[in-house]
Structure 1
Amino acid sequence: MIRNLLFNLIIAHILGDFYLQWSSSCKNKILHSVKGKDLWLHSLAIGILSWIANCIVIRYINSKIVIS
């Protein structure tokens, strides 16, 4: 269970960092830090992906409980 959650969270973070982030947003995060919108948008994207990953694991666990 913990392995599934950890795996899904790592995949969500990799997707958010490498596929859902453009070079311009990386530069803006460095330039503007906390004051820029790009850091907050990136944090929101990672949060949403992590929530989805958590829902997938919970659905998987619930399906195992019902079958057992």
Structure 2
Amino acid sequence: MKVVVDQDKCIGSGQCVLAAADVFDQRDDDAIVVLLQENPAADRDEDVRQAARLCPALAIELDES
């Protein structure tokens, strides 16, 4: 799975960090998402999918091809 984030869409709610803190973080100054792992390990897939579902701004896209 490849994770893509759109920082321009992000509103800094932090739901992604709560769901998968080893894959997502937030910038200190404005809380915008920071992607830590573009290709997380397979055992993180469900948490990453949950993060994408929870994102109120739809700023996380998953490429599962």
TM-score bracket for this pair, using the shorter chain length? 0.3 to 0.5
Structure holding more strand per residue: 2
**Structure with the bigger percentage of helix:** 1
TM-score, normalized by length of structure 1? Answer: 0.32
TM-score (norm 2): 0.33
Larger Rg: 1
